[in-house]
Amino acid sequence: MTTTARVPAIEGWFTLDDAAPRLLGLKCGECGTVVFPPRALACPNPACPATDLASVELSRTGTVWSYTVNHYAPPEPYMSPDPFVPYAVAAVELADEQIVVLGQVAGDPSTLAVGAPVEVVLDTLFEDGEGEHVVWKWKVVAGEAGA
């Protein structure tokens, strides 16, 4: 019997905690600015001299700033399923961090609305010989859709 390996589609951008995954950002110890993805060379606040940023877990929940549903298969390097399946992308505001983060949408996009509460989940991005590549996605919090 074989089990499919679960591998992150990118290292270090989110935790692999299935029950309550978190996006991983960076936080400036001096001015409090948060960065996602966690790739800043220094604090992006031009008035802040800090260069040493610490890893931080971002809020699990946010609200939809806007969203769209794509009906055409993107070019490579997107790994489209065959046949292609339309997918939604949402821009989500995180109140504590005052940041908007993109992500694909897990589950039924028909419940999406601007202002809807969403949470971070892990979901399949694509599968290949190496295993199941997982990525963060936004999912509408059940029963609270619409705003």
Q: At its nearest, how many Å lie between other proteins and the CB of residue 19?
A: 22
- Cβ-based nearer residue to other proteins, 1 or 11: 11
> 92-97 contacts: CB < 8 A, separation 24 or more?
92/62, 92/63, 92/64, 92/65, 92/118, 92/138, 93/62, 93/63, 93/64, 93/65, 94/58, 94/59, 94/62, 95/59, 95/62, 95/63, 96/59, 97/25, 97/34, 97/36, 97/58, 97/59
Choice from 77, 83, 129, 143 touching other proteins (CB under 8 A): 77
| Residues in 35-64 that interact with other proteins by CB under 8 A | 35-37, 44-48
Number of residues that bind other proteins (CB under 8 A): 45
**How far apart are the two ends of the chain, measured CA to CA in Å?**
47
Q: Does 24 bind other proteins (CB under 8 A)?
A: no
Contact set for other proteins, span 88-147 (CB under 8 A) = 89, 91, 96-104, 114, 125, 135
Catalog residues that contact other proteins under the rule CB under 8 A: 9-10, 28, 31-37, 44-48, 65-72, 74-80, 87, 89, 91, 96-104, 114, 125, 135
